[in-house]
Amino acid sequence: MDFIWSLFSQRPTYRHYARVDNTGICRAFKQCSQPPVGQEWVEVAEQNLSWLNQPLPFNARLIRQAGQPAARHLRMA
């Protein structure tokens, strides 16, 4: 019965972050509902393992305006 109720409950929305060093190289990824602490984390549209130890593509970064809520994306599998 708990399974049925879980289908109707809200799940936390996770956002994707990439850790970029001072030379612009992607060092790690993280998914969390709150922004990570630190200046080296930037929000990205998706996690792509081919970016690790490579320069983070500029078009991968999400640029948010002040006060803009996180966009919800519906992905069909």
**Residue 77 located in a structural domain:** no
For residue range 37-62, list pLDDT tens digits in order. 988 999 999 999 999 999 999 899 88
Is residue 72 assigned to a domain? no
Residue among 35, 38, 46, 34 at smallest CA distance from 21: 38
Look at residue 48 and tell me if it is in a domain: yes
What range defines the domain where residue 46 resides? Answer: 2-60
76 domain-assigned = no
22 falls within a domain: yes
The whole-angstrom separation of Cα 63 and Cα 44 is 9
Lowest mean pLDDT among 14-23, 42-51, 63-72: 63-72
* Count of structural domains, the chain: 1
Residue 68 belongs to some domain of the structure:
no
User: Which of 72, 73, 19 is CA-nearest to residue 41?
Assistant: 19
The answer to whether residue 66 sits within a structural domain is no
